[in-house]
Amino acid sequence: MTDDRKRTAVSVRDLHKNFESGYSETRLFNGLSFDINEGDFVAITGSSGTGKTTLMNLIAGLDKPTKGTIRVLGKELSLLNDRELTALRAESIGILFQTFGLLTDLNVKENIKVTQMITGKNNSDRERYSDELLEFFGLNNKADFNPSSLSVGEAKKVGIARALSTGPQVLLLDEPTGNLDPQSVNVLLPILRGLRHIYGKTIIMTTNTPRAAKIANREIHIEKPKIIPIM
């Protein structure tokens, strides 16, 4: 018999993240715990200031919690050094930041390929997969364009394609529908849904867009932080 049980891709236990500012301390998450299985599409929701982006940075190993543990693909992040965290991100985690981070001295296709070069994929593999991603995202006719000439929706597509380009197991998307007009959201939502079904990725997406949250198969809602006066 085969074991059809899915493995845990991300495990968060008793998570706390505290920030001091002036005469108060902001306490995010307050013991948040959850598991995300391989192949899940999870929407992280919550009002502005609840720490959705901070949570993404913690899962990516770009920040450290005040308390609690995070395991990604079986590795406890607190036990990894900087080199090991960098390797984990390069090999297994794709990230779309809210700022996109597209390089304006490269064209669209080169922006998609650049992370592949860092991880050492050979040139023929880069070409083939970059062309596949351009087709999937409907960007074939934009391959030679400079990112500065793209609409916000098109730039988000390029950012997601670049996050996918190294073949990561976990894809972190920070507000992929943020600042988009309704028509652009209509175009992007089927693409986001396809990332799970066609590419089989574990997707964790922060969003303030109820329509976007509905395409996920699960929602994790973050409560408002506690603000404690410092005496």
* Per-residue pLDDT at 1: 41
Dihedral Cα 89, 123, 131, 199, nearest 10 deg? -40
Hey, what amino acid is at 37? N
d(C-alpha 148, C-alpha 202), whole Å:
30
Share of the chain above pLDDT 70, in %: 94
* Per-residue pLDDT at 200: 86
Structure tokens at 77: 């992040």
d(C-alpha 110, C-alpha 172), whole Å:
21
> Is residue 90 predicted with pLDDT exceeding 80?
yes
Per-residue pLDDT band for 72 (boundaries 50, 70, 90) equals very high
Whose structure tokens read 């600042």? Answer: 179
Among 81, 84, 63, 23, smallest CA distance to 174 is for 63
d(C-alpha 19, C-alpha 149), whole Å:
38
* Per-residue pLDDT at 225: 92
CATH of domain 8-229: 3.40.50.300
